[in-house]
Amino acid sequence: MSTIKKTLKDIIAGSDIIGIRGDAGIEVSGITHDSRKIEQGDIFVCISGFNTDGHDYAANAVQAGARALVVERYLDLDVPQIKVKNTRQAVGYLAAALYDYPSKKLELVGVTGTNGKTTVTYLVEEIARREGKKTGLIGTLGSRINDLSFPGQHTTPEATEIQKLLRAMVDAGVNTAVMEVSSHALSLGRVNGCIYRAGIFTNLSQDHLDYHHNMQAYLEAKSLLFSGMHQNPQSQFAVLNGDDEACQYLQQKTACRYVTYAINNQADFKAYNVKLSAQGVEFEVGYNGHRARVFYPVPGKFSVYNALAAFTWGITAGYKPDAVLTALQNIKGIPGRFQSIRRGQPFLVIVDYAHTPDGLENVLATAKEITSGRLITVFGCGGDRDRTKRPLMGKVAGNWSDYVVVTSDNPRTEDPQKIIEDIIPGLENANYKIMPDRREAIVHACSIATAGDTVLIAGKGHEDYQIIGKEKIHFDDREEVKKALRRMGYVEE
């Protein structure tokens, strides 16, 4: 990344600050909220977190080389200090200023919604690549700058990391960047300082109520992406799912022009003659007086929505229809998203990230369509998260599956057995077995499957870890499936 050197005075120009103590003319070269990552010349942002207060680590940060602090209260430390009302909300804007507003130099696309964010970002990236653009991506599976990949810990990274990544993308010549924008990121200000050329809304269903408490607050958090798109309403646009109940609310909140896509309702981009098969989805899309035939090689009605969202964005952004259609037709599989594991066994095994009631139902409905035998589902629910969705997940699994294996997901600090007990009421009248050990659950499901069956392992998808207590241990559903099939004598790719 290019060398950054700016004065505090330059960084705070136009920012909503309360005051500054010390020399505003000093130069700084980086910004972070993590005292363990301080480099010489950085600004340290003292964020009052849920468990710790960054102000308590300010002295360590200064000792490690921080040249200035961003604070909510002045500290007895001999370095310049910028005082703001809320450091968490301010850091994104300050980081954007330090890195010279990188999002202004990119065609930045934000994708938000409960389900489908990762898939849609991959589709947007592929469309841009087909048109010869250099691309960047930020999301659940990590970040990518052209062909270089970087691991990530959150769907949407912290504000300082986002602006640094965007700056690196600009330096690498990236034209189009796409990022997943979670409700947490929006409410916590992680994407403050980002200027989006386009925002895409996939859908809204129950998730994260442990944090947002109710669906209206969850929706309001999602809407911040679209209400924040007011910098250049003529060139900015929103892409909204016209079949989702949240669409009307988001239309009212959107600060720029918007276009809609739908299967059932009238929309600017509407799908007709939808055909679902084991090979993927095929449909016609009507738009602006035109018709185009779309094929996307991932089964399921949810795939129609994902492809339709990406198509709507591509055409509205000015991409050539042929390039958009070719990108959708040739996209490679996305890790942990309806990912089929084949080792020559006479039954299907699918690994998917579905971890919400709606997401699980979408995936189960798709699996049911392509299954001639039994549908065997392995799933659990995460600990220290929304408990109210657990019996709902159980009900969905029981309604669609012929046999359910209830297991652990990421129990975190909760007792796995207690989590399972929360799921069980939803499994009334279902045929199920409780196996808290996820490895044993996967082995059991594969061992009882016969020709024509489908084994769906849901909840973790791409994740290669399991969080038990506060420890993160290596665990990958896809690896465990391959091991189980190998022990059963299946070794073919």
Q: Which of 464, 461, 471, 335 is nearest to 411 (CA)?
A: 471
Q: Mind giving me the DSSP string for 437-461?
A: -HHHHHHHHHHH--TT-EEEEES-T
Q: State residue 492's pLDDT score.
A: 65
Q: State residue 332's pLDDT score.
A: 81
For domain 102-330, give the fold: UDP-N-acetylmuramoyl-L-alanine:D-glutamate ligase (3.40.1190)
Q: State residue 412's pLDDT score.
A: 95
Q: State residue 114's pLDDT score.
A: 86
- Residue carrying structure tokens 């189009």: 176
Q: State residue 278's pLDDT score.
A: 83
Residue 81 parent element (H or E): strand 81-83
Domain 339-487 CATH (choose: 3.40.50.2300, 3.20.20.450, 3.90.190.20, 3.30.70.20): 3.90.190.20
Q: Which of 333, 324, 323 is nearest to 303 (CA)?
A: 333
Q: Which of 91, 57, 79, 116 is nearest to 305 (CA)?
A: 116
CA distances (Å), origin 26, targets 44, 67, 73, 408, 445: 14, 8, 20, 52, 62
Residue 18 structure tokens: 């309360």
Q: pTM for this one?
A: 0.87
**What values do phi and psi take at 166, rounded to 5?**
-65, -40
How far is it, in rounded angstroms, from Cα 480 to Cα 473? 14
Residue 66 DSSP code = -
Q: State residue 212's pLDDT score.
A: 46
Which residues, in sequence order, are bridge partners of residue 20? 82
> Going along 248-309, which residue ranges are E strands?
257-262, 269-277, 280-287, 290-296
How far is it, in rounded angstroms, from Cα 436 to Cα 408? 5
Domain 6-98 CATH (choose: 3.60.15.10, 3.40.1390.10, 2.60.40.10, 3.40.1350.10): 3.40.1390.10
**What values do phi and psi take at 239, rounded to 5?**
-115, 115
How far is it, in rounded angstroms, from Cα 82 to Cα 43? 10
Q: State residue 157's pLDDT score.
A: 85
Neighbouring C-alpha atoms within 13 Å toward the C-beta of 154: 15
Q: Domain map of the chain by residue range? A: 6-98, 102-330, 339-487
Q: Mind giving me the DSSP string for 204-234?
A: --S--HHHH-SHHHHHHHHHHHHHT--S-TT
| Per-residue pLDDT in tens (0 to 9) along the chain, 493 residues | 557 789 999 998 777 889 999 999 999 999 999 999 999 999 999 998 777 899 999 999 999 999 999 999 999 999 999 999 999 999 999 999 999 999 999 999 999 998 899 999 999 999 999 999 999 999 988 899 999 988 876 767 889 999 999 999 999 999 999 999 998 889 899 999 999 999 999 999 755 455 546 878 888 989 999 999 998 877 899 999 999 999 999 999 999 999 999 999 999 999 999 999 888 999 999 999 999 999 999 999 999 999 999 999 999 999 999 999 999 999 987 889 899 999 999 999 999 999 989 889 989 999 998 999 999 999 999 999 889 999 999 999 999 999 999 999 999 999 999 999 999 999 998 999 999 999 999 999 999 999 999 999 999 999 999 999 999 999 999 999 999 999 999 986 5
Contacts 24+ apart (CB under 8 A), 326-329: 326/130, 327/123, 327/126, 327/127, 327/129, 327/130, 328/123, 328/126, 328/127, 328/294, 328/295, 328/296, 329/295, 329/296, 329/297
Q: State residue 418's pLDDT score.
A: 96
Q: State residue 489's pLDDT score.
A: 94
Which residues, in sequence order, are bridge partners of residue 53? 48
